[in-house]
């Protein structure tokens, strides 16, 4: 029988269960997983499978879901078996330099976000502000005004009736309007439903190192319009990230090393809203994550990873995600055509921090990074193997003939792995999010719709505390108020090391863990590089350089307290909440629209979306940040 924790049941009932006309759940968790397993297994009919084979596949899918060994992205949980709505979370839409194309992009935003998807755009092809328009003899408004227009369109849409729109805008470093882009979100709340990232290549980064200039190029005519000092521009990017986390950075060279269809479709120049999924224009990708915390044997004197069980789940979940592509409902014909041409899937992980605590390994240790690398290499080996098996059974992805893959690389899916942030699905699985460290060992959340305040303690920490005799309500209250284990004499040093939390981990260790996973991941990694409030601009500068040098595909940083309005809380009193981090509910495919906190804007209940978007029910204030 499937059982959920109190937290997970709250998430399931408010997010995923189908509702009756009065808004009351008409499913249980067993019904939810049976609905999803059945809907995704049915696509096996397209490939000539018998009813008996389909029933066996459905049983495998249900077992994997009900054990919470694997959970797909939220649109699949919400919409599978309902015959409406997309099952994918991640989209990149084209944005070309014409009024028709801009308006089509606005239309497609609405269609995608209507049913729960998040969208990414590259502004790099739009002519700069002030450029002459030959057809109308007018003057171009520039990409920032286009961005503001798309933001307003997104604000009109409530994704699937369950969450606000969320987006990513990327601009190439050599665009003439790059300085305006870097500054466009310096005022908190501006363009609130877009993340922004600067797309750079190795030429720019080498110019930063050498202190040389680089050219600005008008995308309308490819003419050089001027030169900027690379170090000065890089410093502006770093300062913005230090100031409030914007902009991030995407290393386009690293991204396109894993783009195997460049000859047919060109380069990837944008990502989904959380940055972990680079995509071609009109591509979508469905994600799902394996709960690593479930694959540790702790019965022995020395715990170990259950590799055989993990292998089996990798193979089943890879098949599941490939089936989703065929079970999907697509917002536009162009998205369906492109998605089915490349058949990208994004198998990732969650519960990594909980895996390490069970293995008695510190997150910020060399051993911790090695385990991360070993796990991702294992994921890559068996996801690739399964994709090849599916290609034999069903055929390679249609664009394979024009790809740069070799004869021994006949894959069903042009990419297989993506590490997403898993904000809400990790809450459903009652495990740590993505590859992030533990944010806090104890914290509270208020759910006004349910009329209750939920108090959470990490289950592994609670068990250790009780078994080792240092558990107390006073300690849990202290931790929920933002206290650190380091200051508690009754807590053994071993426990302090194992249960280290995100704010206590150095940026170097954060980047190191991201790089360890990135080496074996053919898409990107969602990872927030955390800084203490007193971190310097130079600290952020070093993190950005290290991310590039270690082969990461992008970087997002967050300095504690650098935003007035943030999401995850670690300290509170009866009237206000001190908020410390903005990435806990950042999985774009999983909203938390019923999680309420008291807003600082007017001390009234504030709705917090899992995407990072927030709005006040009283005064209408809103802001958005997605790490």
Residues 6+ apart with CB under 8 A from 599: 565, 605, 606, 614, 616, 618, 621
CA distance 368 to 385: 26
| Helix ranges, 261-411 (H) | 262-265, 307-327, 333-342, 352-359, 366-394
Element (H, E) at 205: helix 202-210
CB atoms within 10 A of CB 619: 13
How many residues comprise the chain?
627
Phi, psi of 487 (to 5 degrees): -95, 5
Residue at token pair 């995308």: 219
Question: Which of 276, 283, 580, 610 is an active site residue?
Answer: 276
Q: Is the peptide bond before 247 cis (omega within 30 degrees of 0)?
A: yes
CA distance 143 to 128: 7
* Residue 246 is among the residues annotated as catalytic for this protein: no
Residues 6+ apart with CB under 8 A from 326: 43, 46
3-state secondary structure of 401: helix
Would you say the C-alpha torsion 79, 83, 88, 92 has a positive or negative sign?
negative
Question: Which of 274, 601, 613, 616 is an active site residue?
Answer: 274
Residue at token pair 């408004």: 141
CA distance 450 to 12: 13
For residue 626, CA distances in Å to 44, 136, 591 come to: 36, 38, 12
For residue 401, CA distances in Å to 261, 283, 404, 407 come to: 9, 18, 8, 10
CA distance 471 to 468: 8
* Residue 458 is among the residues annotated as catalytic for this protein: no
Question: Which of 272, 328, 458, 546 is an active site residue?
Answer: 272
* Residue 272 is among the residues annotated as catalytic for this protein: yes
CA distance 587 to 151: 19
Query: What residues act catalytically?
Result: 272, 274, 276
């Amino acid at each position: 029988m499937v059982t959920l924790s109190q937290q997970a049941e709250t998430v399931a009932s408010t997010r995923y269960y189908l509702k009756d006309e009065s808004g009351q759940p008409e499913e249980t968790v067993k019904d939810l997983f049976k609905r999803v397993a059945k809907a995704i297994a049915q696509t096996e009919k397209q490939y000539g499978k018998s009813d008996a084979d389909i029933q066996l596949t459905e049983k495998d899918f249900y077992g994997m879901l009900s054990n919470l060994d694997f959970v797909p992205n939220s649109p699949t949980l919400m919409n599978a078996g309902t015959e409406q709505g997309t099952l994918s979370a991640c989209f990149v839409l084209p944005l070309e330099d014409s009024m028709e194309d801009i308006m089509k992009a606005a239309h497609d935003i609405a269609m995608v976000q209507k049913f729960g998807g998040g969208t990414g755009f590259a502004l790099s092809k739009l002519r700069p502000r002030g450029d002459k328009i030959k057809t109308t003899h007018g003057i171009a408004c520039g990409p920032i005004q286009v961005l503001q227009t798309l933001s307003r369109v997104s604000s009109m849409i409530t994704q699937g009736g369950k969450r606000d729109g969320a987006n990513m805008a990327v601009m190439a470093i050599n665009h003439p309007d790059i300085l305006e882009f870097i500054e466009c979100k310096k005022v908190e709340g501006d363009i609130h439903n877009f993340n922004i990232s600067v797309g750079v290549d190795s030429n720019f980064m080498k110019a930063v190192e050498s202190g040389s200039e680089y050219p600005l190029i008008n995308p309308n005519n490819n003419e050089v319009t001027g030169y900027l000092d690379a170090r000065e521009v890089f410093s502006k990017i770093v300062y913005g990230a230090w100031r409030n986390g914007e902009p991030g950075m995407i290393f386009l060279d690293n991204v396109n090393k894993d783009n195997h269809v460049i000859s047919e479709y060109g380069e990837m120049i944008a990502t989904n809203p959380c940055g972990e999924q680079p995509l071609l224009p009109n591509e979508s990708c469905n994600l799902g994550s394996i709960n690593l915390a479930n694959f540790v044997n702790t019965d022995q004197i020395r715990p170990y990873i259950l590799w055989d069980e993990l292998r089996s789940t990798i193979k089943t979940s890879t098949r599941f995600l490939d089936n989703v592509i065929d079970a999907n409902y697509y917002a536009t014909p162009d998205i369906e055509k492109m998605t089915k041409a490349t058949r990208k899937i994004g198998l990732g992980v969650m519960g990594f921090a909980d895996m390490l605590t069970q293995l008695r390994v510190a997150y910020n240790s060399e051993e911790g990074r090695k385990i991360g690398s070993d796990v991702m290499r294992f994921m890559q080996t068996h996801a690739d193997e399964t994709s090849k098996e599916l290609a034999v059974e069903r055929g390679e992805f249609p664009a394979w003939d024009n790809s740069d893959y070799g004869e021994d690389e006949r894959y069903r899916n042009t990419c297989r792995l993506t590490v997403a942030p898993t904000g809400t699905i990790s809450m459903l699985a009652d495990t740590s999010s993505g590859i992030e460290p533990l944010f806090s060992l104890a914290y509270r959340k208020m759910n006004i719709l349910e009329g209750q305040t939920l108090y959470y303690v990490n289950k592994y920490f609670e068990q250790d505390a009780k078994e080792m005799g240092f558990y107390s309500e006073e300690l849990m209250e202290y931790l929920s108020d933002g206290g650190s284990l380091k200051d508690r004499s009754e807590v053994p040093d071993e426990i302090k090391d194992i249960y280290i939390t995100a704010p206590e981990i150095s940026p170097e260790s954060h980047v190191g863990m991201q790089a360890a996973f990135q080496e074996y991941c053919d898409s990107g990694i969602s990872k927030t590089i955390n800084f203490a409030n007193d971190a310097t601009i130079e600290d952020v500068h070093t993190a950005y350089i290290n991310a590039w040098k270690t082969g990461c595909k992008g970087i997002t940083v967050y300095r504690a307290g650098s935003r007035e309005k943030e999401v995850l809380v670690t300290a509170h009193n009866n009237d206000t909440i001190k908020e410390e981090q903005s990435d806990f509910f950042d999985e774009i495919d999983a909203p938390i629209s019923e999680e309420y906190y008291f807003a600082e804007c007017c001390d009234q209940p504030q709705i917090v979306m899992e995407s990072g978007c927030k709005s006040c029910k009283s005064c209408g204030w809103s802001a958005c940040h997605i790490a």
